[in-house]
Structures are given as C-alpha cells and as structure tokens.
A and B are shown apart, each in its own frame.
Chain A
Amino acid sequence: MILVQLVADGLLLGAVYALLSSGLTLIWGMMNVVNFAHGDFVMLAMYIAFVAVTFLHVGPAVFVPLAALMLFGLGVGVYFALIRHVMRGPMLAQILSTFGLGILLRYMVFWVFSANFVSLPNRMAGGVLAIAGLRLQDSRLLAGLMALLLTVGLHLMLTRTAFGSRLLAVAEDRTAAMLVGIRPDAMQALAWGIGAACAGVAGALIALFFYISPLVGDSLVLIAFVTVCLGGFGSIPGALVAGLAIGVIESLSAWFIGAAWQDVVVFALFLLALWLRPQGLMGKA
C-alpha cells in the first residue's frame, strides 16, 4: 500500500517537474537557448498569484490565466530587449544574459517583497482526495492534469498547426525560413511568449501547494533542467515522460535509500542515461 502511495506521490511530483519544464523545452528546443531565468519566471508567476489572492481576493480560475498572460508579455518583451541580440552570439552570451536576467528579476522581487516566505491561504490547496487508502491533494492533481494538457497542447501546436511548422522552420534554418516569407523575429518572440506563459501557468499552480519566496525558483528548477535534457532536446512528450520518471525515482529513492541521497540517485541515473543515449530519451540523434 505504501508503495502505491509512494508511486502516486512520485507521479504527482513528476507532473510538477513536467509542468516546470514545459516552457523550458519549447525555448530550449526551438531556439537552442537555455533560459537560466526560467526558475525566476516561475517565481514571478507565484508572486502574481500571491498578489492576486491577497489584494484582489480571486481564485485560481482568475490568477492562473492572469499569470500566463503577464508572463507572456514578459517573454515577448525579454525576447525583443535581450534575447534577439544575444541569440546569434556564442552560447556563452546566452548563458550570461539569462543568468543575469534571473538574478535581476529575483532581487527586484526581493526588494519589493523582502526575503520572507509567504504562502497562499491553506484552504486554496483544496481538499484531499482519499480513494482506496490513497491520499492525493486536489491542487496537485490539478497541477498534474495541467501538465498533461500543456504537453499535449504544445505538442499539437508544434506538429499540427501552421504556426508550429513555421516555428520549426525557423528553428531548422532561419535564412531559408525568411526566404519563404516567415518573419523569424515574430515567430521566435511568440515562442518566447508561449514558453514564458507556460512558466506562468506552472508557477501559479504550484503556488497553490508550495511556499513562495524570491529564491524559490532555485530549489525547483535545477531538476527541471535535468528533466528537459533527459527527455531529449526539444522533445515535449519526452519532457513529460522524463519528469514523471524523475518524480517516481525521487519518491522511491527517498523511501528506500534516504531522502538525503535522492538527488544523487537522480543525477547518477541521468548521467548513465546520457552516456547510453547521448540525445536524451526521446530526442532525435
């Protein structure tokens, strides 16, 4: 019975990782840019949720779309102000710029809200679904469901829509795409916007059951990077599978080996997987 609960908890945690990495995969895969500020995008969304709940007294039905919308704007803005200029530079310039951006965002929030931990009212985390001896929190189930929806949605968007093919075309060959009349800047700005909006959805949902602080992105996002990489560069279904796998591995290793070693297990398995399959689980060689 414990084992079932552990796996269920692991899957729900994995869904959080998948949720966190959805936007990251898009940006990473489509533009070959690692957004080191992704965790801080998520953190911003958590504060948007906090402010919306505290001052406007609204629920998730309002603050999740609100966070998505605001982060979309931020993503597009960041693209035009910064990313567009560093994208064609060396990979190091991208690391430098998004890392700097992350610090900047984090400490601007720090300045306004101070370092104190806050949290949404506990009632917002919703009830607990108790079935067959399992105890699952509503808000976590909601997050899991959204992770699934986002993954499917992004995947369909990339593979089934004209927008997706244009985006892929730009990712494949910028010049060629321009020749057939695609405006790469517009495409990539949209991709950044959507990627950031995913971070917005993720942050707003995670805020329901997690604590909020200016540095919260740090603790959440490192595993999300591993998730994206393990799933395979730019593979959106891959990130979901990898996220769920990592969640279950963490949960089981915390039980059987000890929580102090769970990240060691994850990193070791990750390295092993990469050495065996250098392009990630579902990435193209």
Chain B
Amino acid sequence: MKTRVPLVLLGLAALGLPFVLHEVYYQRVAALVVLAAISASAWNLVGGYAGQVSVGHAMFFGSGAYGALLAYTVLGWPPIAGAPFGIAAALLLAVVVGLPTFRLQGHYFSMATIAAAELIAIAVGNWKLVGGAAGLMGPAAPRSIADLSFRSPLPYYYIFLLVLTILLLITARIERSRLGFYLRAIRGGERAARSLGVPAVRTKLAALLVSAGFTALAGSLYAVMIGFVDPESGLGLLVSVQMVIIAALGGAGTLWGPLIGAATLIPLEETTNAFFGGSGTGATFVVYGAIIVLISRFLPGGIAELWQLVRSRRRLRAA
C-alpha cells in the first residue's frame, strides 16, 4: 500500500498541472511531453524491456499519423476515426518486418529496423496516392467536435494523459507477468533464455505488437494535434531516434524512464529553441547535444539511475 501514495500524488499532479501552468504555450509543451512519453513508453516495451533496440519505430508512428489523415482526406472522416486503420497497418508491419528481423542480433537488428523504416519513408514520399512528398493536411477548420481541433492545448493534454495512463498500466502489468520475465530474460541473453525454455520469437513479437499499436496511436494523436504529416515528420529517422533518446535518457527498461526522459528532453528542446532559436547560431543544438552527452557520460543508465543512487545511498545510511 505504501507505494501507492506517491502514485496517487503523481496522478493528481498530472491532472492539476494545467491549473498551475496558465500560459497556453506551457500547456502545449506539457501536452507534447505526454505525447512523447506515449511513444517512448511504447518503444520501451521492445527496446527497453526486451533489449531489442529498434531504430525504426517511425514506421509505426507514421502508420498511425497517415492512417488518421488519410481517413480525413480520402473518406472525409474525422482524423481520429482513422486511428484504427493506422494501428491495424502498424500491427501488420510489425509482423511482416518483425518476424524476419528478430533473428538478427544487436546492432544488426537496429540497422535492419532503420533500413525498413527508411525504405517505407522513401516509398511513401514517392507515392502520390498517400500525399507523396507534400504530405497530408488535416481539416483546415474544425467541422465538428469530432475533428478534435482545439485552440487550447488542454483537451489534447488530457486525451494524451488518458492514453499514457492506460499504456503505463499495461506496461506495469506486463512487468510483473510471465511475459515481463521472458522479456527481461531475453535482454539478459537470448541464447540462455532460449535454453531455459523461453519462446523468444513469440515473446518478442508479442511485445512488438503492443509496442507498435501504441506507437501508431501516438502517431494518430500527433497528426490530430499538428494537423499535418509528411514523410519526414511522420516517418523520418529522427522520429525513431527521438523515441530511443527519450527512453534511454530517462532509463530504458523501467516503467517511469520514458516519462522522465520526455519530461526532461521535450522542455529542454522547447526551452533551448525559445532561448537560442532566434539567434541563428545553432546554439540550440550545441546546448542540447552537450546535455545529452553529459547525461550519458555520468548516468549511463538514464536519469532513473539517479533515483536508484539516492535509494541505495539511503539504504547504506540506514544500515
């Protein structure tokens, strides 16, 4: 029971955050933090818990984003109604790309996922039917509430928060389930795990399916909020890399790592851009790069490691 108290506090803080952040812009940053936390948490299932470092999750994110905006441009539906299509496409991709790719180890797996995602990004860019290089646009003006086109970032914030909560609950469930043990066993050493009877491929695929589905949902939500997607912003390498960076920065393979990473990196990006962006010197990314280097240098396990450091020190003192 004791562990529940901070959780409840965190939940209340998240719900109440907008009441502290009066400025719309900060509310938007908060919404972007939660959105980034969704995709990074989804990535974490495969990249963190199972240790299969995918650098191609943009293909799932893009599926979701394109699914949403295709539903609008082709069928005239509200974009969010296209999310199921996007998720279905992502699940299909997960099977088609995942099954053969899971045979690969370590960096080979990462490179294969990059190649698969880049291949899809270029193909979509050359394919007029899905918008080609120009990309797809959401409704220019909201036709009804179902278009989820709001001036205030708050509705987005709460929708994203709901999705993130569900995802974290599922992740926590998985963490404690047999699947969770299997995943960690695979991360520890796949050969050993296999010899202990862990069905490696089936386990990894299960994790990838959940991961791909939620990443696609994040993509749909992104498209609904931003109202635009093109191959670069939906399927580009940087989209994948950002998920990896956020999860790794916060602490991959931990429940709260991706959230911590998102709550660090997104405000960092926004602040450096707000501060230095206008200067035209590139200082934005000098600061950004330097901070990433420093964190990886001193906290190779991510910021979540700080927490463990503090805890172990406290334990030492208590002993």
Contacts and interface: CB of A to CB of B under 8 A. Distances in A.
Asked whether the complex places CB atoms of A and B closer than 8 A, the reply is yes
Given A270-B115, A271-B119, A86 B297 contact: yes
A279 B105 CA distance: 9
Contact of A225 (B114, B122, B282): B114
Interface of B: 47, 51, 53, 100-101, 103-108, 110-112, 114-116, 118-119, 122-123, 126, 237, 241, 244-245, 247-249, 252, 281-286, 288-293, 295-298, 300-302
Contact of B108 (A97, A222, A229): A229
Question: Closest 6 interchain pairs by CB?
Answer: A89-B300, A100-B292, A104-B289, A103-B289, A93-B300, A97-B296
B289 A101 contact: yes
A117 interface: no
Given A100-B290, A103-B292, A263-B118, A93 B301 contact: yes
A86 B302 CA distance: 11
A102 B289 contact: yes
A267 B106 contact: no
Contacts of A233: 107-108
A100 B286 CA distance: 9
B103 A278 contact: yes
B105 A278 contact: yes
Contacts of A261: 122, 126
A6 to B, nearest CB: 21
A263 B281 CA distance: 32
B112 to A, nearest CB: 5
A99 B292 contact: yes
Given A90-B252, A93-B248, A229-B108, A99 B241 contact: yes
A183 interface: no
Contact of A274 (B108, B244, B248): B108
B106 A93 contact: no
Contacts of A152: none
A154 to B, nearest CB: 19
Contact of A92 (B101, B116, B248): B248
B289 A107 contact: yes
B268 to A, nearest CB: 12
5 contacts: A97-B293, A106-B285, A226-B111, A275-B101, A278-B104
Given A104-B286, A278-B104, A278-B105, A99 B245 contact: yes
B157 to A, nearest CB: 28
Interface in A248-277: 260-261, 263-264, 267-268, 270-271, 274-275
A176 interface: no
B285 A103 contact: yes
Contacts of A101: 289, 293
A255 B100 CA distance: 30
Contacts of A163: none
A86 B298 CA distance: 8
B94 to A, nearest CB: 15
Interface string A78-91: 00011001101111
Contacts of A229: 107-108, 111
A28 B296 CA distance: 19
Contacts of B302: 92
Interface of A: 28, 32, 34, 81-82, 85-86, 88-93, 95-97, 99-108, 110-111, 115, 214, 222, 225-226, 229, 233, 260-261, 263-264, 267-268, 270-271, 274-275, 278-280
Given A99-B292, A110-B282, A261-B126, A89 B116 contact: no
A177 to B, nearest CB: 21
Contact of A264 (B107, B122, B300): B122
Contacts of B123: 264
Contacts of B289: 100-107
Given A92-B47, A96-B249, 5 more contacts: A32-B106, A32-B107, A225-B111, A274-B104, A279-B108
Contacts of A91: 51, 53, 106-107
Contacts of A222: 114, 118, 237
B119 A268 contact: yes
A279 B119 CA distance: 21
Given A225-B111, A264-B119, A271-B112, A82 B297 contact: yes
A275 B102 CA distance: 10
B288 A96 contact: no
B304 to A, nearest CB: 12
B107 A93 contact: no
A96 B103 contact: no
Contact of A90 (B288, B293, B297, B300): B300
Nearest to B111: A229
A103 B288 contact: yes
Contacts of B101: 271, 274-275
Could you say which of B245, B247, B300, B301 has the most chain A C-beta atoms within 10 Å of its C-beta?
B300
Contacts of B104: 274, 278
A263 B290 CA distance: 32
